[in-house]
């Protein structure tokens, strides 16, 4: 691959004028870097399952034993029938012929929380249904099974409307269809799903296992989290989607995963089948520069302020710690990821490499009228769109971080729409926005976030009423102090229409609403998806495919089903320090500390460890028996891949994906095969916890364990 690259450049040198030869020389220097970066290496890529036949030869070289139609088929049962989108943004998979599914604990977290009460705290204690009748229906939870996908690019080009295609494809009970763009509008795929809505919680470990390590270990290796939970899909007597009912029976999937307990070794083939959400591998240097130099620094700084305020309040009071645990985890997850991403991109020199790649592209495009202008057009489009996109991101990280103000936005919107704000409806809003609420935390955040909003936002975007009010009170501090003293939203319920209209928090929301609305123009997945920029990417992608023939192209993640493959493998974390691929119970015991919330394991696990009471799940390490916990592999994954099945060469389940290492989070922009690793729970740990801690060994009977 790499010699082709050089050869291409030597050829160019003979036909181009001397004055740009120096530049070319510089480019040759970067050829190695560029070639490795821009050619999809073995483990980079999130492939469309319907096109997997194009990859199977390479997969087989790595140890894959099945055929393309075993992975995906429109007509015959295939592995895709065992995979589902779980809730809005996770993946899950069937592990029994009776609709039993496995996903992450953090994916089931909201459901488990919803079913919990002070008397039945399933988050803390875990839960295992002892029979089908104890499986707990989760209102609102759905799963989507992909029936088929189809390239509809030609149909759309021939004039069929997307809406018609979707309408036709969604006929039938519980059927949902969508058309998703690939390669920035160059291709369109239709996805047809079956949506099941009677989903019941079967079991989950206590958070001290399912969330072991908490935010401290999040994105980190070595890792020891038993991040799994189990649910069951129910259907009507015909196996069709149906609303929750006592009459429903367990869904019978077309395929489910057999489970391998043979374990994982360095070098073993792994495949991940799931729904990754968002990558931007083809964007230009301008877009990456925006991420690392403008967007990430702003978001990280603002979240640091919020997290510090929350953490300090949490450290002073146990009830507050619990109340803000999920909020803190949510804010911290992306905060930590962005830091790893920025460091990774700086380390790889992605911006500089992309600039070099683009200079080279420009030389090629120079003689081609349809492409010659592209980079300039894109550059200009970025310059124009960045302020608006930044304003939206800044708004999200400042104003949207204020809980009472979010409630006020909601009330204001309801009122403008003419919704009658009955006591019942008000309760819904309160539950959503003022849940587990501490006014002192919110007020402290509001003071800092409004101040940051004013300083960082171009003055023209700051509502004049807000500037005037702050000037009148003398400071942001004082303005916010009075705002919280005078608002009725927090303590009074129900509120009258007049009280809502006159409330200072609602007024602030009203002042900010025009800005929030104009932000709507920038509400796209990424900066590069803003239409004024994205339109150029359509041509840019065509040009890249013509020009960079050695590059293996795969569409960016967009929450559609993908296959990635790689191997079980450790990596060199820092010079001379290798991180091995597998962690064990010994590592959990080394971290165990009743004083530290994130590391306080259940007593039963301590007892099991003391008595080496491992049942059939133990493995040997250095001549001693232990339990495998998590492993690393080189699969290209992203947010949304949580809960994805990790499959061996024979199509058996060996683990459950739940994270990446911190240093590999830049793989959403550039994948580095030497360092990018996904983190999975070893399926043997799942079975051990279920059996020895959950006492739910009877569930093993319905699985196919190899």
Shortest distance in whole angstroms from residue 325 CB to ligand ARG:
10
Inter-CA distances, 484 with 222, 305, 466, 512, Å: 44, 20, 15, 17
Tell me whether residue 106 is one of the annotated catalytic residues: yes
Q: Is the distance from CB of 103 to CB of 94 less than 8 angstroms?
A: no
Catalytic residue among 70, 217, 227, 289: 227
Site string for ligand GLU, 387-416 (x = CB under 6 A): ------------------------------
Rounded distance between C-alpha atoms, residue 99 and residue 256, angstroms: 8
DSSP state of 280: -
Q: Record the tokens describing residue 175, joined without a space.
A: 């059927």
Tell me whether residue 667 is one of the annotated catalytic residues: no
Shortest distance in whole angstroms from residue 642 CB to ligand GLU:
3
Is the preceding omega at residue 494 within 30 degrees of 0, hence cis? Answer: yes
Determine if 341 is a binding residue for ligand ARG (CB under 6 A). Answer: no
Catalytic residue among 50, 96, 105, 106: 106
Q: Record the tokens describing residue 547, joined without a space.
A: 């020009």
DSSP SS3 for 94: strand
Candidate ranges 110-118, 212-220, 255-263, 524-532; the one touching ligand ARG (CB under 6 A): 212-220
Site for ligand ARG in 615-674 (CB under 6 A): 639, 642, 659
Rounded distance between C-alpha atoms, residue 465 and residue 217, angstroms: 44
Shortest distance in whole angstroms from residue 93 CB to ligand ARG:
17
Determine if 329 is a binding residue for ligand ARG (CB under 6 A). Answer: yes
Shortest distance in whole angstroms from residue 350 CB to ligand GLU:
18
Q: What are phi and psi of 456, to 5 degrees?
A: -90, -20
Q: Is the distance from CB of 487 to CB of 503 less than 8 angstroms?
A: yes
Q: Which does 218 bind (CB under 5 to 8 A by kind): ligand ARG, ligand GLU, none?
A: ligand ARG
Sole binder of ligand ARG in the list 214, 276, 277, 504 (CB under 6 A):
214
Shortest distance in whole angstroms from residue 338 CB to ligand GLU:
12
Determine if 641 is a binding residue for ligand GLU (CB under 6 A). Answer: yes
Q: Which does 619 bind (CB under 5 to 8 A by kind): ligand GLU, ligand ARG, none?
A: none
Determine if 691 is a binding residue for ligand ARG (CB under 6 A). Answer: no
Shortest distance in whole angstroms from residue 5 CB to ligand ARG:
35
Site for ligand ARG in 412-441 (CB under 6 A): none
Determine if 353 is a binding residue for ligand GLU (CB under 6 A). Answer: no
Determine if 339 is a binding residue for ligand ARG (CB under 6 A). Answer: no
Q: Which does 519 bind (CB under 5 to 8 A by kind): ligand ARG, ligand GLU, none?
A: none
Q: Which does 641 bind (CB under 5 to 8 A by kind): ligand GLU, ligand ARG, none?
A: ligand GLU
Rounded distance between C-alpha atoms, residue 647 and residue 258, angstroms: 10
Rounded distance between C-alpha atoms, residue 204 and residue 109, angstroms: 9
Q: Which does 566 bind (CB under 5 to 8 A by kind): ligand ARG, ligand GLU, none?
A: none
Determine if 219 is a binding residue for ligand ARG (CB under 6 A). Answer: yes
# binding residues, ligand GLU (CB under 6 A): 9
Residue with CB nearest ligand GLU? 642
Q: Which is nearer to ligand GLU, 557 or 696 (CB)?
A: 557
Burial string for 160-172 (b: 16+ CB within 10 Å, else e) reads eeeeebbeebeee
Q: Which is nearer to ligand GLU, 443 or 660 (CB)?
A: 660
DSSP SS3 for 57: helix
State the SS3 of 570-586: CEEEECCEEECCEEEHH
Sole binder of ligand GLU in the list 205, 206, 226, 639 (CB under 6 A):
639
Q: What are phi and psi of 203, to 5 degrees?
A: 180, 160
DSSP state of 402: -
Q: Which among 132, 145, 263, 265 has a CA at the least distance from the CA of 200?
A: 132
Inter-CA distances, 683 with 354, 571, 627, Å: 39, 21, 11
Q: Which residues pair with 94 in a beta bridge?
A: 101
Q: Which is nearer to ligand ARG, 218 or 526 (CB)?
A: 218
Rounded distance between C-alpha atoms, residue 533 and residue 516, angstroms: 21
Q: Record the tokens describing residue 305, joined without a space.
A: 């302020």
Q: Which is nearer to ligand ARG, 260 or 642 (CB)?
A: 642
Candidate ranges 213-221, 246-254, 375-383, 472-480; the one touching ligand ARG (CB under 6 A): 213-221
Lookup result for tokens 């587990």: 436
Q: Which does 638 bind (CB under 5 to 8 A by kind): ligand GLU, ligand ARG, none?
A: ligand GLU
Rounded distance between C-alpha atoms, residue 503 and residue 481, angstroms: 14
Query: What are the strands, taking DSSP E only, across 115-255?
Result: 127-128, 136-137, 143-151, 175-182, 187-196, 198-204, 229-235, 249-250
The HSE-up count of residue 27 (CA atoms within 13 Å, CB side) is 23
Our CA dihedral for 150, 152, 155, 161, rounded to 10 degrees, sits at 110
Q: Record the tokens describing residue 495, joined without a space.
A: 């509120």
Q: Which is nearer to ligand ARG, 93 or 691 (CB)?
A: 93
Shortest distance in whole angstroms from residue 641 CB to ligand ARG:
9
Shortest distance in whole angstroms from residue 446 CB to ligand GLU:
29
DSSP state of 552: P
Site string for ligand GLU, 653-692 (x = CB under 6 A): -----xxx--------------------------------
Tell me whether residue 121 is one of the annotated catalytic residues: no
Shortest distance in whole angstroms from residue 337 CB to ligand GLU:
7
Q: Which does 215 bind (CB under 5 to 8 A by kind): ligand ARG, ligand GLU, none?
A: ligand ARG
Shortest distance in whole angstroms from residue 44 CB to ligand ARG:
20
Q: Is the distance from CB of 330 to CB of 218 less than 8 angstroms?
A: no
Q: Is the distance from CB of 338 to CB of 469 less than 8 angstroms?
A: no
Q: Which does 640 bind (CB under 5 to 8 A by kind): ligand GLU, ligand ARG, none?
A: ligand GLU
Q: Which does 280 bind (CB under 5 to 8 A by kind): ligand GLU, ligand ARG, none?
A: none
Determine if 106 is a binding residue for ligand ARG (CB under 6 A). Answer: yes
Sole binder of ligand ARG in the list 81, 215, 281, 503 (CB under 6 A):
215
Shortest distance in whole angstroms from residue 329 CB to ligand GLU:
11
Inter-CA distances, 663 with 89, 502, 582, 660, Å: 23, 50, 18, 8
Burial string for 596-633 (b: 16+ CB within 10 Å, else e) reads ebbbebbeebeebbeeeebeebbbeeeeeebbbbbbbb
Lookup result for tokens 């495009």: 365
Sign of CA dihedral 576, 582, 585, 588: positive
Catalytic residue among 207, 208, 642, 680: 642
Site string for ligand GLU, 599-638 (x = CB under 6 A): --------------------------------------xx
* Interface residue list for ligand GLU (CB under 6 A): 637-642, 658-660
* Interface residue list for ligand ARG (CB under 6 A): 106, 214-215, 218-219, 329, 333, 639, 642, 659
The catalytic residues are 106, 227, 642
């Amino acid at each position: 691959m790499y010699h082709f690259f050089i050869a291409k450049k030597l050829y160019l040198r003979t036909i181009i004028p001397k004055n740009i030869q120096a530049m070319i020389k510089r480019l040759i220097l970067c050829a190695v870097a560029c070639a490795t970066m821009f050619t999809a290496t073995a483990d980079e890529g999130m492939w469309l399952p319907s096109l997997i036949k194009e990859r199977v030869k390479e997969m087989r070289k790595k140890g894959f034993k099945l055929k393309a139609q075993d992975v995906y088929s429109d007509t015959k049962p295939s592995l895709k029938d065992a995979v589902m989108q779980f809730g809005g943004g996770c993946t899950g998979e069937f592990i029994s012929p009776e609709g039993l599914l496995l996903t992450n604990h953090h994916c089931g977290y909201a459901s488990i929380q919803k079913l919990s009460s002070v008397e039945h705290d399933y988050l803390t204690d875990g839960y295992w249904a002892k029979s089908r009748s104890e499986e707990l229906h989760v209102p609102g939870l759905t799963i989507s099974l992909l029936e088929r996908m189809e390239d509809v690019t030609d149909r759309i080009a021939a004039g069929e409307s997307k809406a018609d295609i979707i309408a036709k494809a969604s006929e039938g009970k519980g059927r949902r269809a969508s058309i998703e763009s690939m390669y920035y509008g160059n291709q369109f795929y239709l996805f047809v799903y079956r949506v099941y809505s009677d989903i019941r919680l079967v079991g989950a470990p206590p958070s001290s296992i399912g969330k072991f390590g908490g935010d401290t270990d999040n994105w980190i290796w070595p890792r020891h989290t038993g991040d799994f939970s189990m649910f069951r899909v129910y259907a009507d007597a015909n196996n069709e989607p149906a609303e929750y009912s006592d009459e429903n029976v367990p869904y019978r999937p077309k395929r489910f995963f057999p489970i391998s307990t043979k374990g994982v070794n360095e070098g073993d083939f792994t495949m991940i089948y799931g729904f990754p959400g968002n990558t931007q591998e083809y964007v230009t240097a301008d877009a990456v520069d925006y991420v690392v130099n403008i967007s990430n620094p702003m978001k990280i700084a603002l979240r640091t302020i919020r997290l510090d305020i929350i953490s300090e309040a949490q450290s002073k009071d146990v009830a507050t710690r619990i109340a803000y645990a999920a909020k803190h985890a949510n804010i911290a997850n992306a905060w930590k990821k962005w830091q790893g991403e920025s460091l990774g991109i700086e380390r790889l020199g992605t911006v500089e490499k992309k600039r070099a790649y683009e200079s080279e592209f420009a030389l090629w495009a120079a003689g081609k009228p349809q492409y010659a202008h592209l980079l300039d057009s894109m550059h200009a489009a970025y310059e124009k769109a960045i302020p608006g996109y930044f304003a939206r991101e800044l708004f999200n990280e400042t104003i949207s971080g204020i809980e009472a103000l979010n409630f006020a936005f909601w009330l204001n919107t309801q009122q403008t729409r003419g919704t009658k704000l009955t006591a019942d409806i008000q309760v819904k809003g309160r539950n959503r926005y003022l849940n587990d609420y501490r006014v002192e935390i919110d007020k402290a955040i509001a003071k800092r976030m409004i101040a940051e909003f004013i300083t960082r936002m171009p003055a023209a975007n700051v509502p004049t009423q807000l500037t005037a009010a702050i000037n009148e009170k003398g400071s942001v501090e004082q303005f916010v102090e009075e705002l919280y003293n005078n608002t009725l939203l927090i303590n009074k319920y129900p509120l009258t229409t007049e009280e809502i209209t006159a409330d200072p928090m609602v007024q602030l929301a009203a002042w900010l609403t025009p800005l929030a609305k104009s932000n709507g123009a920038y509400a796209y997945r990424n900066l590069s998806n803003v239409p004024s920029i994205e339109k150029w990417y359509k041509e840019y992608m065509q040009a890249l495919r013509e020009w960079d023939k050695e590059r293996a192209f795969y569409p960016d993640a967009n929450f559609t089903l993908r296959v990635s493959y790689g191997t079980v493998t450790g990596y060199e974390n820092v010079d001379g320090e290798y991180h091995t691929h597998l962690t064990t119970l010994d590592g959990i015991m080394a971290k165990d500390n009743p004083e530290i919330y994130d590391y306080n394991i259940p007593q039963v696990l301590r007892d099991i460890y003391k008595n080496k009471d491992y049942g059939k799940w133990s493995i040997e390490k250095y001549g001693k028996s232990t339990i495998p916990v998590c492993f690393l592999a080189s699969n290209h994954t992203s947010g949304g891949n949580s809960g994805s099945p990790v499959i061996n060469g024979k199509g058996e389940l060996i683990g459950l994906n739940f994270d990446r290492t911190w240093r590999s989070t830049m793989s959403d922009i550039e994948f580095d095969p030497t360092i990018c690793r996904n983190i999975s729970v070893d399926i043997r740990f799942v079975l051990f916890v279920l059996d020895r801690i959950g006492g739910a060994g009877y569930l093993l009977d319905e699985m196919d364990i190899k």
